[in-house]
Structure 1
């Protein structure tokens, strides 16, 4: 097949990778795999658009294209006290905000963070939602709602769940270190409300959403031109506003509160023959917890970027003598997960004469007294891995804009979050350069990538405010 042929060609190119020459030759030999050409990026765009459209129709697709039932968005006119929960990792965050008085303004905001106790990771213990309720109660004591008012909470829940309404999410599986069968198959919103009711506390939870959707909404509150939310961090995902009449997976009788709904693409699962895949990527995929899935995520996200560079360095040590005798390679260099994405960013952005960041990364991998040549090679590989990631991220973003029929003369904003985008300035520059290649300088200037700080927890509060306001508005 075409996919197998391309994979074979990529592997043969990597196998003939000659490191006896200096770093510039390295770039020349490897750039067709990692310094992705504009034409190949356009092929990626085309394939992603085809899968977006297939997913919306409910046809076979690598993209889930999940309806979120977010069919109303904040206008910036919401006012009053609102709260939000952000549960999706090793820490729990709870927010209180007082919105108003002006459009898109907030008078007050407080975000508290608690480490989740170890016993809560065993979901069969029944302690997780009790802990969540404890933390919310603490915030309510510190920032009580107006007299007689019911606390209104948004719930950012970044685990796999199926949604049938804006305030309903049935848990499919636990990830991120949580284990057990607790709450699987249950509506998370209803389960949390039961915990509060058992304490004699009534709360309104009008919305549940994931971190990608929340990122979009967090910026949309004050910036109406926001059309997309994108996460580029440990993982990657995108959400955007779609016309409801194009989402064929909704029940035929569904009546939206507007003409649009936010769709959660789960674009990390995208795979097509156009993606530039090499042998290191195949090894990373095979060793992952989800082999065969999440291919774009494994080419783009911070969780895998360092591992791709480590495996490339190890292979060059084994087959090209980069570190001397192959039999004497350090154990750390051969240990999966021993190089993180922060080290990749540091190597790429290091401007020191002795390439100190590359030396430090190689030392972490057990290479004693790294030579200048070894440092140059490590830095070059770091730049190439980051460059491929940035180019593919930009191409995927352009694909969504093309699908939406974006008028390139009109300003559009993408809300961005995640450590790779927010903490890696060189990555942002590479994305911007790629956008100009794909869109042209004038159109790219109309596309703003703006960081949405604390997007997951703020977006949850803003959506709760919009949904509650709509639900309680008088009807004609």
Structure 2
């Protein structure tokens, strides 16, 4: 009879066959999304960005990044040679803030007041171009135009749905007599790729790997069949926001019993299956579910259930990261660290065996997560049909807390690329931390599309 830990190891194994199926499955979804209108499928969204920086650009441009709880407005001074200076103003918008359910004019006046504060901070009133990173649904119809859809995230603003985002900004700027023009609307993943290209001109993928996951890459316009009347040359490339977070189905995803159990307790079952297997929002719950199997067999904690394992979603992914970060320290240090994460009603005392098993479970889950991220990157490189016989670097910019903070995550992802491409080709692949997609990326796209 197979022992419980081996059964868990087999469940999270991502064999070469499964990895290849993942890559091919993603490529099929890319091609389906490129040929299906955005009204029918919410993936492979054209960004209308067809220009990339070369690192030599100079000047001051604005970027606005609006999320579910924070507004950030930045003045980005491009200094050339990939160097920048960023000045910003941040404003929080609480869940109960009346702006969330007020009028469109009040909401945009609040945003523009932050822009005005920033302009005073940098002491300029000269005309400036701005890129807007709008983290809400929008039907984008051009580089600087798009119809606002239902916002969600607790926002129910009157008179905003169905309006052109650029027009609402321009009306608000006019009301406040501010000389700013929105020259670009962007997604944060596209911004990440463009921002990384300013310091790494060979960048071919922008990847978000944190609480959620997403990716952007340049695609030949001739292959984006959902674009109508684009009037661009056959070799022109446009950045695509893949929305890879909602990719995945049972036909090619290596879903195991723990993935299915997690999905069954989620508020949106059968949605974002790929993301649920590997993003920062889910590593803790997967570790809890797998650990419960070892607890049920009596192998872990002698059958005692920690308080943090009793309810779904109570064990955080940050806790999993702490487990792995203590994997190579002394037993005494490990015990102290883990005792801050787990408590028992009967004051059960952790053993060295408990810690070893728990860390092994965490490693199995995070290692699969890294390979799942690597599989997406492989598919994006294969999709671009890059000439792998050349010698120039191929750069992948990654932003997000899991990539940046989880122990050995970059090295594990890199290994998955080596396993697929081999050491020679993989030596050209440079995965590096990308930052400030909403600010630097937004400002760069605003610069690239300012009126000439």
TM score, norm. by length of structure 1: 0.85
Cα distance between partner residues in 2 of 1:465 and 1:185: 27
Paired residue for 1:93? 72
Paired residue for 1:348? 324
Could you tell me which runs of 5 or more consecutive residues in structure 2 were left unpaired when the two chains were aligned.
none
For the structure 1 residues 210 and 365, does the alpha-carbon distance in structure 2 shift closer, same or farther, using more than 3 Å as the test? farther
Aligned residue pairs, count:
440
Alpha-carbon contact 2:89-2:117 (below 8 Å) kept = no
Which of 106, 115, 133 is equivalent to 2:112? Answer: 133
The answer as to 2:134 corresponding to 1:157 is: yes
Paired residue for 2:435? 453
The answer as to 2:176 corresponding to 1:199 is: yes
CA displacement, residues 244-276 of structure 1 (integer Å, 9 cap, x when unaligned): 01000011x112488111011111112142322
The answer as to 2:156 corresponding to 1:180 is: yes
Which of 5, 22, 44 is equivalent to 1:65? Answer: 44
Cα distance between partner residues in 1 of 2:297 and 2:9: 20
Which of 418, 430, 450 is equivalent to 2:412? Answer: 430
CA displacement, residues 307-356 of structure 1 (integer Å, 9 cap, x when unaligned): 1111222343345563445xx74543122221221211121121222233
Alpha-carbon contact 2:169-2:182 (below 8 Å) kept = no
The answer as to 2:32 corresponding to 1:47 is: no
The answer as to 2:345 corresponding to 1:369 is: no
For the structure 1 residues 80 and 402, does the alpha-carbon distance in structure 2 shift closer, same or farther, using more than 3 Å as the test? same
For the structure 1 residues 193 and 287, does the alpha-carbon distance in structure 2 shift closer, same or farther, using more than 3 Å as the test? farther
Alpha-carbon contact 2:54-2:201 (below 8 Å) kept = yes
Paired residue for 1:37? 15
Alpha-carbon contact 1:332-1:338 (below 8 Å) kept = yes
Cα distance between partner residues in 2 of 1:165 and 1:364: 56
Paired residue for 1:84? 63
Q: Does the residue aligned with 1:112 lie in a helix, a strand or coil?
A: strand
Cα distance between partner residues in 1 of 2:167 and 2:174: 10
Cα distance between partner residues in 1 of 2:407 and 2:323: 13
Cα distance between partner residues in 1 of 2:419 and 2:361: 23
For 1:330-349, what aligned pairs fall within 5 Å after superposition? Answer: 330-349=306-325
Q: How far is the alpha carbon of 1:119 from its aligned partner?
A: 4.0
Q: Does the residue aligned with 1:170 lie in a helix, a strand or coil?
A: strand
For the structure 1 residues 199 and 306, does the alpha-carbon distance in structure 2 shift closer, same or farther, using more than 3 Å as the test? same
Q: Does the residue aligned with 1:416 lie in a helix, a strand or coil?
A: strand
Paired residue for 1:18? 3
Paired residue for 2:426? 444
**Greater CA deviation, 185-194 or 365-374?**
365-374
**Greater CA deviation, 214-223 or 328-337?**
328-337
Cα distance between partner residues in 2 of 1:181 and 1:278: 41
CA displacement, residues 363-401 of structure 1 (integer Å, 9 cap, x when unaligned): 399974323222222211111111111001101100111
Alpha-carbon contact 1:62-1:271 (below 8 Å) kept = no
Cα distance between partner residues in 1 of 2:295 and 2:256: 17
Alpha-carbon contact 1:339-1:365 (below 8 Å) kept = no
Cα distance between partner residues in 2 of 1:364 and 1:208: 50
Alpha-carbon contact 2:100-2:155 (below 8 Å) kept = yes
Cα distance between partner residues in 1 of 2:449 and 2:111: 22
Cα distance between partner residues in 2 of 1:169 and 1:347: 44
Cα distance between partner residues in 1 of 2:174 and 2:378: 46
Paired residue for 1:74? 53
Could you tell me which runs of 5 or more consecutive residues in structure 1 were left unpaired when the two chains were aligned.
1-15, 20-25
Cα distance between partner residues in 2 of 1:364 and 1:241: 51
CA displacement, residues 395-442 of structure 1 (integer Å, 9 cap, x when unaligned): 110011111111223321111100000112411111111111011111
Alpha-carbon contact 1:51-1:63 (below 8 Å) kept = no
TM score, norm. by length of structure 2: 0.90
CA RMSD for the aligned pairs?
2.6
Moved over 6 A (4+): 59-63, 364-367
**Greater CA deviation, 283-292 or 207-216?**
283-292
Q: Does the residue aligned with 1:207 lie in a helix, a strand or coil?
A: strand
